[in-house]
Every structure is written in C-alpha cells, then in structure tokens.
Structure 1
Amino acid sequence: MTDAKHSNPIEIEITEPSSLNEQAAAALVIVGALVAVADRRVSPVERDEVIRFVRDRKLAPHIPEERLYAMFDELAERLEEPDFANVVIDTLRPVSNLPLSSHLIELSERVAAADEDVHPHEVQAIKLLRLLTLVLPRAKQVDSRKERIEQPLATEE
C-alpha cells in the first residue's frame, strides 16, 4: 500500500469499511461507478441513478446521501487507475455472502441505461460484474462446536 492511499481518509473508509452497512453500500456504488466510467465519461445522471437506486431500495439507510456521493466520486476516480480490477474485487469480496447479486446486476443495467446511450464498454462491464458475482469466494459457514459434535452422532444412528 502506498502512503498516498493512507493519507486520504475517504479512500481508507471505502476500501476498508468497518461496518457491513458501509461494505454493502461500497459494493453497490462500485458497481455503478464501474459501469459509469466504462465509456470514459461519467454522466451526472449515472451518478444520480446509483444514489437513487440505493435510496429507493433502502439498501444503505444509515449512510447519508452526501456520503454516498463522495463514495461514488472517490471510487470512480480509483477505477481510472491501472489496478481498477483489484479495487472492484476487494470492494465486492466482503459482501459476497450477502444476497446482493440481483441488486448489483440490476443497478449496473440501470446505470448503463441512465444516459440513454448504452456503450459497448458498459455492456462489457456488466458482463464482468455478472461473472464476478458468480465466482467471488463465499464466506464459509462456521458451525458451532456443539453442532459439529452432534452431526456425526446423527448420521451414525
């Protein structure tokens, strides 16, 4: 990690969100930002569509709208850098076990259509997101010690 990354408090919050709510919001915003930057121009209507989508579905109710806009701007900027794929994966991985996939795909499609011009690179970004939502490793279920002991006994009977 670079020192510049640690000097920007917004980026630290986004790349290492402390709460599940913040992680889910970052995942939704990164999906919208990825599609928005895919055609090399982020339209204000695309940015507004991301925030509207999150708000209308109450997917991040405790995060202020201003914070979502700042998150979008920061992540859209990060997606212009060569390591953009790592940024996307690192943002999606913490929430890979949440039922967000359908929201992520729907949001990506809405952002692509928001400016009434679906660019071929936006279509590619949506295909990439579909693939990522299928292949990201899921969080492992941790069984309690009691359940692990009882399970073999139940199978022996």
Structure 2
Amino acid sequence: MSDAKHSNPVEIEIAEPSSLNEQAAAALVIAGALVAVADRRVSPVERDEVIRFIRDRGLAPHIDDERLLAMFDALAERLEEPDFANVVIETLRPVADLSLSAHLVELSERVAAADEDVDPHEVQAIKLLRLLTLTLPRAKQVAPGAVRADRRTAAEE
C-alpha cells in the first residue's frame, strides 16, 4: 500500500466527496463496514445488507450500487488499519448535523444480524457507533448578521 493512501485517514475519493449526498452515503457505508469488519470476516451478505438498507430507504438515490460497493470495499480495508477510529470519525464528522444517527445505528444492527451470527465484537462496534453519533462535534451555527459583519471587516482591510 502506498504512503499517499495512508497519509489521509480516508482514501482521497471518499475524503473529498463532491456533495453532501456522497458524504451521507459514506457515513452510512462506514457504519456498516465498521460492524462487518469487527468480527474479522466480512461476509458478502453483510456487504449486500449495507446496499439494500441504503436503497430501501432512498438514502443515496444519486449514487449507484457500484459506487456504494467501491466505498464499502475501500472503507472496510481502511478499517483494518491501526488508525480505524480516525477513519470513522472523519467520515462521520461532515454529516454530524444531519439526522442520520438513527439510520446509522439501525444499519449497523442489521449488518450485525445479516450473517445470523452476532459476534461480541460487532456488539462493541455498534456501541462505539452509538457513542460517536452522540458526541461528534456539530457544525457551529452562524448568525446571518455575523457573516455580513465579517465580510465588511474583510473588505475594509
């Protein structure tokens, strides 16, 4: 594996998604991948459950299945690295303000049950995901007047 791949917590194609839709899809995929790799064996049925969940709920309608599968494979591979927690946090952070928490937890639970064998490590991964969805920093709300004042100050300088 190249150094460029490891210099960024998430691969370039996922770290800089072009839209909020893609960021949300990556967050959903990381939730499923986290549970899938927790027992150290990613089952095809777990991978399929991630895609099925996203499709059934219409959560990423503009992203095709091939792209979602590629995201899953890339993120699952990255989650096997020592810095896996950073990968999860950096993937979830951009969508912390969206109401995805319930979907993330439900998806993780469905992936754990998909292979009909819920491993204790998968349960720990779900608990970690629940904790992260509660504690990730939210984007600051900026009052419209504050933005105009900042622009005026910048223009005067």
TM range (shorter): 0.7 to 0.9
2:91 corresponds to which residue? 91
In 2, the alpha carbon distance for the partners of 1:45 and 1:144 equals 47
**What whole-Å deviation, never above 9, does each CA across 1:64-100 have from its counterpart, x for those lacking one?**
1100001000000000000000000000000000000
**Aligned positions, number:** 146
1:141 corresponds to which residue? 141
Q: What is the CA distance between 1:141 and its match in structure 2?
A: 1.1
2:108 corresponds to which residue? 108
Q: What is the CA distance between 1:18 and its match in structure 2?
A: 2.2
Q: What is the CA distance between 1:142 and its match in structure 2?
A: 1.4
Q: Describe how 1:34-45 pairs up with structure 2 within 5 A.
A: 34-45=34-45
Matched, 1:82 2:82: yes
Q: What is the CA distance between 1:146 and its match in structure 2?
A: 7.8
Cα RMSD for the two superposed structures: 2.2
Segments of structure 2 that go 5 or more residues without pairing to the other structure are 150-157
In 2, the alpha carbon distance for the partners of 1:26 and 1:33 equals 10
Q: Once superposed, which parts of structure 1, at least 4 consecutive aligned residues long, lie more than 3 Å away?
A: 146-149
SS of the residue aligned with 2:69? helix
Matched, 1:55 2:55: yes
1:120 corresponds to which residue? 120
Matched, 1:28 2:17: no
Segments of structure 1 that go 5 or more residues without pairing to the other structure are 150-157
Q: What is the CA distance between 1:11 and its match in structure 2?
A: 2.4
SS of the residue aligned with 2:11? helix
Q: What is the CA distance between 1:43 and its match in structure 2?
A: 0.3
Q: Which residue identity does 1:115 align to in structure 2? A: D
SS of the residue aligned with 1:103? helix
Q: What is the CA distance between 1:126 and its match in structure 2?
A: 0.2
In 2, the alpha carbon distance for the partners of 1:32 and 1:138 equals 22
Q: Which residue identity does 2:82 align to in structure 1? A: P
| Pair 1:40–1:141, CA change in 2 (3 A) | same
Matched, 1:13 2:24: no
In 2, the alpha carbon distance for the partners of 1:65 and 1:146 equals 42
| Pair 1:146–1:31, CA change in 2 (3 A) | closer
SS of the residue aligned with 2:42? coil
**What whole-Å deviation, never above 9, does each CA across 1:17-45 have from its counterpart, x for those lacking one?**
12100000000000000000000000000
In 2, the alpha carbon distance for the partners of 1:70 and 1:148 equals 41
Q: What is the CA distance between 1:4 and its match in structure 2?
A: 2.6
In 2, the alpha carbon distance for the partners of 1:87 and 1:15 equals 9
